[in-house]
Amino acid sequence: MDEITKLTKKLQREIALNRDFVSQEEVVLLSFVHTWQQLEWLGKRFFPRFGLSDAQFNVLMILWDYRETGMRQHELASILMVNRASIGGVIDRMEKQQWVRRQRDPVDRRSNYVHITPAGIALLEKVRPVYYALFPDAFAHLNSNQQQDLLKLLERFRQGILPINKRLKEGNHEPS
Amino acid sequence: MDEITKLTKKLQREIALNRDFVSQEEVVLLSFVHTWQQLEWLGKRFFPRFGLSDAQFNVLMILWDYRETGMRQHELASILMVNRASIGGVIDRMEKQQWVRRQRDPVDRRSNYVHITPAGIALLEKVRPVYYALFPDAFAHLNSNQQQDLLKLLERFRQGILPINKRLKEGNHEPS
DNA sequence: CATTTATAATACACTTGTATATTATATTTT
DNA sequence: AAAATATAATATACAAGTGTATTATAAATG
């Protein structure tokens, strides 16, 4: 039995699939989703140990990145690929904790600039090293070349998904 | 400039990263997360066109897979890697639509067996072919060998994440 | 056999996501 | 300049995820 067959059967067991895969493409897709679920599980349990959610950690990372200028809410939403309404609530709760602050843009008064605060920076600087310390274990079974291969293949996968998403986006507009 | 450098810079632009990556591992991780976000975006907009959510589609797929026997709620939660409480609400809403039905297990009266109904099967048989029809486009840039490479690399990635998750799980139990 | 412990489902409060409507402000068009 | 259109943030209702507590039942133990 070759390696791919073994991997396929292993995945089949792990996701309790009670049938054959319909194609190799489905194997890859379900393997990708299964891998994401493992990673998501990690994030959902890791960050709350520091009193924040995974979504809040991501916001802190981005706002630290843009600590000189701050960032508008809709830009945050766009980067995180979430709805604009959703980021509002996250910022609300983080503002209550005083990890971020909102500041009206004087040039475009519709916009808020969101800034990370000293308290936010302090929290991030506590969490971030522990977060980065997970990386060696997470990538223990992938050497540098394999990491680069994975990078290339993920990029190719995205290139396939992108046009589908474009079609779905356009399809949202009914003909007028 | 070599291919990896190009891919790295492209990713940096796509996720609006305003700094250098701290390591190749971080590049791979953020590429993986970014790819997931694209795929999630797809699912969040595709399935509602058929009147269901992506979570509900996954439940229908699993229950069809186990249509002979049905499946207990906690098994569903385990396969989908979500909290048991969470699957209850999903089943509630699907039961209202009469896509699934609950049946008390006479042997273990704590358990519900959840079954897909004829209406659920009818819905799934409408959605599934359209869903599978996305695959050729999604994998258009990955030939069979590349798909197999991706499969192997994802498996290796999971092998790194698994022990971290085990540690996090054990860490939940305070010493008594 | 009675009691303790474990498990399945559910209820509750909360966070984060969705879509859509509203309000304030900018921008474009006439 | 005035009117129409677009955009940023927010409000609302809902779906689905989290953890924790409760209840019913099963399994293990004294």
> A55-93 pLDDT, tens per residue?
999 999 999 999 999 999 999 999 999 999 999 999 999
Do residue B81 and residue B115 come from a single domain? yes
Query: Does B163 contact A at CB distance below 8 Å?
Result: yes
| A101 has pLDDT over 50 | yes
In the DSSP assignment, the letter for residue A76 is H
In this prediction, what percent of chain B has a pLDDT beyond 70? 97
Task: Note whether residue B170 is domain-resident.
Answer: no
Does residue B175 have a pLDDT over 50? no
In this structure, are strands A112-116 and A71-72 parallel, antiparallel, or unpaired? antiparallel
pLDDT score of B171: 66
Is A16 part of the contact surface with chain B (CB cutoff 8 Å)? yes
Give the three-state DSSP class for A119: helix
Residue of chain A whose Cα is closest to the Cα of B128: A22
Band the pLDDT of B134: cuts 50, 70, 90: very high
Pair B57, B117 in one domain: yes
| Nearest residue: Cα versus C1' of D7 | A110
Q: What is the pLDDT of residue A78?
A: 95
User: By the CB < 8 Å criterion, does A130 face chain B?
Assistant: no
Indicate whether B61 and B127 sit together in one domain: yes
Distance (Å, whole) CA B147 – CA A25: 7
**Is B12 within the bounds of a domain?**
no
Q: Does residue B79 belong to the interface with chain A, where contact is any CB pair within 8 Å?
A: yes
Residue B149 inside a domain? The answer is yes
Single-letter amino acid, residue A47: F
Q: How confident is the prediction for chain B on average, in pLDDT?
A: 94
pLDDT tier for residue B135 given thresholds of 50, 70 and 90: very high
Select the residue from B9, B24, B116, B157 to test the A interface by mutation, using most A Cβ atoms within 10 A.
B157
Residues B110 and B61 in one domain: yes
Does residue A173 register a pLDDT over 80? no
Give me the mean pLDDT over the A158-168 stretch.
94
> Is the minimum distance from the CB of A167 to strand C below 7 Å?
no
Mean pLDDT over residues B22-47, rounded? 97
Q: Are both B76 and B124 inside the same structural domain?
A: yes
Q: What is the CATH number of the domain that holds A106?
A: 1.10.10.10
Q: Are residues B91 and B128 in the same domain?
A: yes
pLDDT band, residue B174 (cuts 50/70/90): very low
Asked which of A13-22, A108-117, B109-118, B163-172 is least confident by mean pLDDT, the reply is B163-172
Q: Average pLDDT of chain A?
A: 94
Please tell me the predicted confidence (pLDDT) of residue B173. Answer: 42
In which band, very low, low, confident or very high, does the pLDDT at B15 lie, cut at 50, 70 and 90?
Answer: very high
Rg (CA), chain A: 20
CB < 8 Å to B169, chain A: 45
B81 & B117 share domain:
yes
**Rounded average pLDDT over A15-41:** 97
Residue B168 placed within a domain: no
Range of the domain at B140: 135-163
CA A156 to chain centre: 18
Residues 87-126 of B with CB under 8 A from A: none
Answer whether residue A110 is part of any domain.
yes
Q: Is the pLDDT of residue B154 over 50?
A: yes
For B:19-38, CB contacts with A below 8 A are 19, 22-29, 31-38
Report d(CA B115, CA B99) in Å as an integer. Answer: 9
Task: Look at residue A131 in the predicted model and tell me its pLDDT.
Answer: 97
Instruction: Please report whether residue B174 resides in a domain.
Output: no
User: Where does residue A73 rank: exposed (0-12), middle (13-18), buried (19+ CB within 10 A)?
Assistant: middle
**What's CA B99's distance to the chain center, in Å?**
20
Collapsed DSSP state (helix, strand, coil) of residue B111: coil
User: Does any domain span residue B29?
Assistant: no
Whole-number pLDDT of residue B49: 95
Whether B63 and B128 share a structural domain: yes
Local confidence band at B170 (pLDDT 50, 70, 90 cut-offs): confident
Residues B90 and B147 in one domain: no
- Whether B1 maps to a domain, the answer reads no
Residue A147: exposure state from Cβ atoms within 10 A (0-12, 13-18, ≥19): buried
Same domain, B107 and B150: no
Residue A171's pLDDT band (cuts 50, 70, 90): low
For residue A21, CA distances in Å to A16, A29, A61, B145, B173 come to: 12, 11, 39, 17, 38
Can you tell me the mean pLDDT for B139-168?
Answer: 97
Strand C bases near protein CB (under 7 Å) are: 7-13, 15-21, 24-27
Same domain, B127 and B139: no
Domain count, chain A: 1
